[in-house]
Amino acid sequence: MSEMSTGKSPEIQPIFASSTPNCYIQLAKKCMHEKSSERPNAEEVYKIFQEWKEILNKEEKELEDKKLEIKLEFLLADKINSASTLQENISSTHLQQQNSYENEVNLIW
Protein backbone atom coordinates (compact mmCIF):
# COMPACT_ATOMS: atom_id res chain seq x y z
CA MET A 1 0.00 0.00 0.00
CA SER A 2 2.92 2.36 0.54
CA GLU A 3 3.83 1.84 -3.11
CA MET A 4 0.35 3.06 -4.10
CA SER A 5 0.83 6.09 -1.85
CA THR A 6 4.28 7.12 -3.09
CA GLY A 7 4.57 5.46 -6.50
CA LYS A 8 7.85 3.87 -5.35
CA SER A 9 8.68 0.31 -4.32
CA PRO A 10 8.69 -0.14 -0.54
CA GLU A 11 11.90 -0.53 1.41
CA ILE A 12 12.23 -2.74 4.48
CA GLN A 13 10.12 -0.23 6.42
CA PRO A 14 7.79 1.44 3.95
CA ILE A 15 7.69 5.20 3.87
CA PHE A 16 4.44 6.95 3.05
CA ALA A 17 4.11 10.27 1.31
CA SER A 18 3.77 13.03 3.90
CA SER A 19 0.28 13.86 2.67
CA THR A 20 -1.02 10.28 2.96
CA PRO A 21 -4.20 10.19 5.06
CA ASN A 22 -3.69 8.73 8.53
CA CYS A 23 -6.51 6.20 8.06
CA TYR A 24 -4.72 4.88 4.95
CA ILE A 25 -1.43 4.55 6.83
CA GLN A 26 -3.14 2.72 9.69
CA LEU A 27 -4.80 0.29 7.27
CA ALA A 28 -1.50 -0.31 5.47
CA LYS A 29 0.22 -1.06 8.77
CA LYS A 30 -2.53 -3.54 9.64
CA CYS A 31 -2.07 -5.19 6.24
CA MET A 32 1.67 -5.57 6.95
CA HIS A 33 1.26 -6.87 10.51
CA GLU A 34 3.85 -9.54 11.29
CA LYS A 35 1.09 -11.90 12.45
CA SER A 36 -1.04 -12.86 9.48
CA SER A 37 -3.99 -13.47 11.81
CA GLU A 38 -3.94 -9.75 12.66
CA ARG A 39 -4.08 -8.66 9.01
CA PRO A 40 -7.45 -7.77 7.46
CA ASN A 41 -8.64 -10.08 4.71
CA ALA A 42 -9.55 -8.86 1.23
CA GLU A 43 -13.23 -8.54 2.11
CA GLU A 44 -12.44 -6.33 5.11
CA VAL A 45 -10.15 -4.11 3.04
CA TYR A 46 -12.83 -3.86 0.34
CA LYS A 47 -15.40 -2.76 2.94
CA ILE A 48 -13.05 -0.09 4.25
CA PHE A 49 -12.43 1.20 0.71
CA GLN A 50 -16.19 1.25 0.10
CA GLU A 51 -16.70 3.24 3.32
CA TRP A 52 -14.04 5.74 2.24
CA LYS A 53 -15.69 6.04 -1.17
CA GLU A 54 -19.06 6.76 0.48
CA ILE A 55 -17.43 9.35 2.74
CA LEU A 56 -15.80 11.08 -0.23
CA ASN A 57 -19.09 11.17 -2.14
CA LYS A 58 -21.05 12.79 0.69
CA GLU A 59 -21.37 16.49 1.35
CA GLU A 60 -19.23 17.69 4.24
CA LYS A 61 -22.26 18.88 6.22
CA GLU A 62 -23.65 15.31 6.16
CA LEU A 63 -20.60 13.81 7.89
CA GLU A 64 -19.84 13.34 11.57
CA ASP A 65 -16.47 14.65 12.79
CA LYS A 66 -14.40 11.48 12.31
CA LYS A 67 -15.70 10.90 8.78
CA LEU A 68 -15.26 14.56 7.91
CA GLU A 69 -11.64 14.31 9.05
CA ILE A 70 -11.12 11.31 6.74
CA LYS A 71 -12.63 13.19 3.79
CA LEU A 72 -10.51 16.29 4.40
CA GLU A 73 -7.33 14.21 4.71
CA PHE A 74 -7.99 12.55 1.34
CA LEU A 75 -8.87 15.86 -0.34
CA LEU A 76 -5.73 17.50 1.03
CA ALA A 77 -3.62 14.54 -0.09
CA ASP A 78 -5.00 14.88 -3.62
CA LYS A 79 -4.07 18.56 -3.74
CA ILE A 80 -0.56 17.97 -2.41
CA ASN A 81 0.09 14.95 -4.63
CA SER A 82 -1.13 16.83 -7.72
CA ALA A 83 1.24 19.69 -6.98
CA SER A 84 4.08 17.25 -6.26
CA THR A 85 3.49 15.33 -9.49
CA LEU A 86 3.44 18.57 -11.46
CA GLN A 87 6.76 19.60 -9.92
CA GLU A 88 8.27 16.17 -10.70
CA ASN A 89 7.09 16.44 -14.32
CA ILE A 90 8.56 19.93 -14.65
CA SER A 91 11.88 18.77 -13.16
CA SER A 92 11.95 15.70 -15.41
CA THR A 93 11.25 17.79 -18.52
CA HIS A 94 13.97 20.26 -17.54
CA LEU A 95 16.45 17.42 -17.01
CA GLN A 96 15.57 15.88 -20.39
CA GLN A 97 16.04 19.25 -22.09
CA GLN A 98 19.36 19.75 -20.32
CA ASN A 99 20.58 16.28 -21.35
CA SER A 100 19.48 16.91 -24.94
CA TYR A 101 21.37 20.21 -24.97
CA GLU A 102 24.51 18.57 -23.53
CA ASN A 103 24.32 15.83 -26.17
CA GLU A 104 24.07 18.44 -28.93
CA VAL A 105 27.05 20.34 -27.51
CA ASN A 106 29.08 17.13 -27.37
CA LEU A 107 28.24 16.39 -31.01
CA ILE A 108 29.50 19.82 -32.05
CA TRP A 109 32.82 19.38 -30.24
pLDDT, tens digit, for every residue of 12-57? 667 888 889 999 999 999 998 888 899 999 999 999 999 999 999 9
76, 19 in Cβ contact below 8 A? Answer: yes
Q: Would you say the pTM of this structure is higher than 0.85? A: no
The pLDDT of 85-95, averaged and rounded, is 50
Q: How far lies 58's CA from each of 22, 51, 53, 61, 71, in Å?
A: 19, 11, 9, 8, 9
16, 29 in Cβ contact below 8 A? Answer: no
